[in-house]
Each structure stands twice: as structure tokens, then as C-alpha cells.
Amino acid sequence: MLLLYFFIVLFVNNSYAAKPKNVIIIVADDLGFNDVSYRGSTEIPTYNIDALAYNGIILNNYRTPPLCTPSRSSLMTGKYPHHLGMQHFVIPSDEPWGLSPSEKIMPQYFKDAGYVTRMVGKWHLGFFEEQYTPNNRGYDSFFGYLGPYIDYWDYTLNMFDRNFSRGYDMRENQTINRNIPPNKYATELFTEEAVKVITTHDKKKPLFLVVNHLAPHAGNEDVPMQAKQEDIDKFSYIEDIKRRTLAAMIYQLDKSVGEIVKALKDNNHLDDSILIFYSDNGGPTTGIHSTAASNYPLRGQKQSGWEGAIRTNAIVYAPSLPKAVVRNNLFYIADWLPTLKTIAGANFKINTKIDGIDQTKMLYNNRELRNELVTIDDVFGFGSYIFNGLKLVNGSSSNGQFDSWLGSNNNTNAVDDKAYMENLLLSPVAKSIKPPITLRNIDRMRSSAKICCTKEKNKQSCDLLKGPCLYNLNDDPCEENNIANRNKILFSFMLLKYKNSLADLVPTRRKQSDPKCDPVHFNYTWNAWQQNS
């Protein structure tokens, strides 16, 4: 009897022994919707990102929260930020709060399924106590910074609105990392580390790797736009020097995607990997940390309820997934946790109520699985609510400053179509993936990913300072025609649904600045400055 049991266990275990797929997540920081070239304009050519898109699935109705910390907390937990108390603003490095350590997060889940879990780049989910930091939250290793951003060359964070010392914010695991070669550009540093992780990975175990780039977020307020001069020179056709520098920052981001895919290919990992690329939120055209990013033709920008804040570029590629398709179904960042679990074949349990939906059937069969989505910052008093293609936008985040179409629509093409295709096919991503992409597929995907604004002639305007507005996203993705006054019943219905969806909102965890954080007390580094409670 015992022997029989033994054989059954052996058999069952073996039948489940198919190794789960590697999961590689690459996150861009503040990349604008119009700052990649797979949707049309080649003002800023992104050949590697585009090649990944054309080989995989363009998630053309991808949504995130409108700011960094909320966005990252949602990816990690599969929940809405407002179910975590993480919906308001971001974590400035002097504030003692973060994502609750009682939340189980993605690397912990994947660790349960036998993965090696690694993280490179930005954390930004809290570090005032050690228990909030990546190595205590399921990551086997961490190479990066804990705060919102750093200088691209010297890795310091300087809070422009405080009197603290400038502090170094780069570590490996829990110790300050002083072993960085001088004059190393951050995007290249993180890329080299990601390539090293892939190259040295022990194939017996699946790999869970998150690469949270600094790029193309601004550096410190005193020198916000930082790129290598040789890269800036490549974009001399962009007149605005700020946008030209942004293009150079994105150039390195794109190159990073190429090198990561090539490393996966060269080390025989690509066939059993799933790759995701997306931006944490929309680009900032104006205001704090602005980079001349463009979300055109979408309305608004980072830190608002508009599409320019929450509709971002996103791609998923895996040899096991459909190739060369554009999916127009709604997909929310929180959906990754259950979706990746399924498509990677990772054996873990999610024992808590999450907001993420398993979108596997959408990816494979175009099934419509999500029809609702909530965005809220209840303290600033802005947000939006999407339901069955309708969208309610409520509250202005910056006294109207972010409420119009802000980004560059200059769309100067860097190259003609022929040169675009040639460069694309020469990119490391295109060369790593077989069979090669066909020109017909590229054309088809470029045109179906394009955003067509409303044809309505009699457009009704919107003033969020006066009240909420309503849009039909199916005909009006650019939020040009406010239908609130023409559809009073629908408008009241949406307002009610929105309020109801916020019934279980958890109050913000945000805390006041604590001057004890000052890097002057820690040899000019940013550090956990309180004892675990």
C-alpha cells in the first residue's frame, strides 16, 4: 500500500514536472504614449520595443494607475491601489510609509512556485523600515535604488523641496553599493546587471526577473534631463532640446530591451520565457519632473484621471502566445498576477481577494474579460471610472494644468518607411526571434494600433473644475466630446457606479515627512531610518 502511494506520488509529481516559464518584466518609468514608434510616428524610433511588439501582442487598451507608487503596488499585489491604501501620490524618500508588509507580493508568489526571484532598478514601495525593502519581500536579490528616482550618473537623490543632504541611493541587496564604475549611465548599468542575471541563471530553476528602469524619468530637479551626449547628437532633428534629450534617454531604454532579449536568446532561455514591457504610467509633459514626454493624441498626462495618465504602452511576448496581434480589450496592471501565473504555468495559490482578472483567454482567444476599471486619488480629489466603454472623469489634479492635450504632436519622422523597416529588422530583438517578422504583419499592426480620435463635429467641452465629464471611449479615445449633458441618465448611472466601486476604499497610508531620514545621519546615503515596528 505504501509502495503504491509512493508510485502515485512519483507519477503525479512527474506529470507536473514541466518547468514553469521564466517571467521577465521590464518597466519603463514615465514613458509617454506617443514616445514609441510602433504606433506610427518615428520621431523617437524604438526599434527593439517595436520588434517585440510586432512579434508578440500589443495590449492596446492597457491601463495603469496614474502615478508610480500606486502603479507598482498594483503590479505587485494584483489589487487596486485604493484597496491597499496606496492610491494617494507617491512615497517621497522622507516619508515613513510603504506597501504594507502583510501584503503578499509577486516575487513571494513566484518563490512559492520554485522560482529564483531577482530585481534590478527602482523599488519605490517604501524603505523607512528594513522590512519594507525588496530582500524582505520575496526577492532573492536586489540591485537598484529604493526611492523615486536618482541622478543618472552619480546615483544620488536630492529632495528639491527639503533641506536634507543629497544622499546616495544604490544598493546590492541590503548594503550600499559603491562598486559602480565611474561615469556609468544608469540605464546601461541596469541593463548590464539584468544581462548578468540572465547569463548566470541556473537553468534548473525558473527565473522571475523584474527590471524597473529609471528611464525615461527625469533625474533630480537641478539636472532633470540626463543623457549621453553621443545619444543626444543622434536626434539633432528634434528642435526642442528637452525633447531631444528625452529621445536620447529612450534610445538607451530601447537598447536595453534589445540586450535583454538577446541575452535570453544567447543563453537558450527565450523559448521558455514570457516577456512583458510597459510604462508604469503616462508621460509628464509639464509640471514636476516633466520631460517633454508626449501622450498625444491622448488627453492629459501623468497624475490625472485622463487617458494620458492611465492608458500606457504595453507589450507581451512569449513563443507560446499568439504572435503579431493587437488586442483592444481592456487590461489592467493588476491582471498580470493571475495571468502570468496561468501562462507561465507557475504553481502557486492566491489565497486572498484580488482585483486582477486572469486574462489568459483574452490573450489567446480575444475574449472580453474586463469591462470595468477604477482610478482614484481621494486626497487630491481626482479619478476616473471606465465601464463598458464609457468613461467618467472626475476632479482636476492640478487646477486644470493637466486637463488638455499636452504632448508634442510634431511627429517629425526620423526616417522614411523603408529605412524604418530596415533598421527594425537589424535590431537585436528582431534578430533574436525566429521566424522573422513579415513586413505585412508590421504594416497591419502599425495601422491597427493607431489611435483614431472622434469624427464628431459638434464636440462638447469639459471643465473638470466645474464637474465630472463623460466620454464614449469606443468612438472617442482622445476624450474630446463630453457627452455628460446629452446623456443625463447614463451620467448619473456612471457616477453612482463609480461611487459604489469606491465603497471599500482603504484610507491612504501616507505619513508626514520625518526629518530623521536625512542622509546626513547615514554617511550621505538613503537608508531605512526606523526600527521595524
Q: Is 500 exposed, middle or buried (0-12, 13-18, 19+ CB in 10 A)?
A: exposed
Q: How far is the CB of 243 from ligand NAG (least distance, A)?
A: 8
- Quote the least distance from Cβ 236 to ligand NAG, whole Å: 9
Site for ligand NAG in 233-252 (CB under 6 A): 237, 239
Convert 394-414 into a string of H (helix), E (strand) and C (coil). ECCCCCCCCCCCCCCCCCCCC
Q: What angle do CA 422, 319, 31 make, to 5 degrees?
A: 60
The three state secondary structure string of 129-166 is: CHHHCHHHCCCCEEEEECCCCCCCCCCEECCCCCCCCC
**Whose grid coordinates read 526571484?**
117
Q: To 10 degrees, what angle do helices 336-344 and 68-77 make?
A: 40
Closer to ligand NAG by Cβ: residue 140 or 192? 140
E strand spans, 195-335 = 207-212, 273-279, 314-317, 325-327, 331-332
- Contact between 6 and ligand NAG by CB under 6 A: the answer reads no
Q: Does 205 bind ligand NAG (CB under 6 A)?
A: no
Residue for cell digits 537589424?
Answer: 426
| Contact letters for ligand NAG, residues 408-437 (x by CB under 6 A) | --x-x-------------------------
Nearer to ligand NAG, 17 or 222 (CB): 222
Shortest approach of ligand NAG to residue 488 CB, angstroms? 17
Q: Which stretch binds ligand NAG (CB under 6 A): 92-100, 249-257, 450-458, 495-503?
A: 495-503
Asked if 523 interacts with ligand NAG (CB under 6 A), we say yes
Residues 6+ apart with CB under 8 A from 416: none
Stretch of 255-263, 414-422, 445-453, 497-505 contacting ligand NAG, by CB under 6 A = 497-505
Selected binder of ligand NAG within 163, 365, 399, 461 (CB under 6 A): 163
Is 172 an interacting residue with respect to ligand NAG (CB under 6 A)? yes
Q: Are strands 116-122 and 207-212 parallel, antiparallel or unpaired?
A: parallel
Q: Which stretch, 14-22, 94-102, 414-422, 496-504, contacts ligand NAG (CB under 6 A)?
A: 496-504
* Member of 112, 130, 140, 266 binding ligand NAG (CB under 6 A): 140
Nearer to ligand NAG, 61 or 117 (CB): 117
Strand-pairing partners, residue 392, are: 385, 470
Nearer to ligand NAG, 29 or 151 (CB): 151
CB 331 within 8 A of CB 61: yes
Alpha helices in 267-349 (DSSP H): 307-310, 336-344
Distance CA 344, CA 20 (A): 5
CB 220, min distance to ligand NAG, A: 16
Q: Which 173-202 residues touch ligand NAG, going by CB under 6 A? A: 173
Q: Return the number of the residue (295 or 360) whose C-beta is nearest ligand NAG.
A: 295
Amino acid type, 430: A
Nearer to ligand NAG, 381 or 507 (CB): 381
The residue among 156, 152, 281, 166 whose CA lies nearest residue 224 is 152
- Written as one letter, the residue type at 96 is P
Instruction: List the one residue from 85, 108, 162, 401 that touches ligand NAG (CB under 6 A).
Output: 162
Distance from C-alpha of 130 to C-alpha of 111, rounded to nearest angstrom: 20
Distance in Å, CB of 6 to ligand NAG, minimum: 34
- Considering only residues 141, 398, 401, 441, which one is a binding residue for ligand NAG as defined by CB under 6 A? 141
Site residues (CB under 6 A) for ligand NAG, limited to 363-392: 376, 381, 383
- 3-class SS at 515? helix
Q: Is 398 in the site for ligand NAG (CB under 6 A)?
A: no
Per rule CB under 6 A, count of chain residues that contact ligand NAG: 19
Binding site for ligand NAG (CB under 6 A): 140-141, 162-163, 172-173, 237, 239, 376, 381, 383, 394-395, 410, 412, 498-499, 502, 523
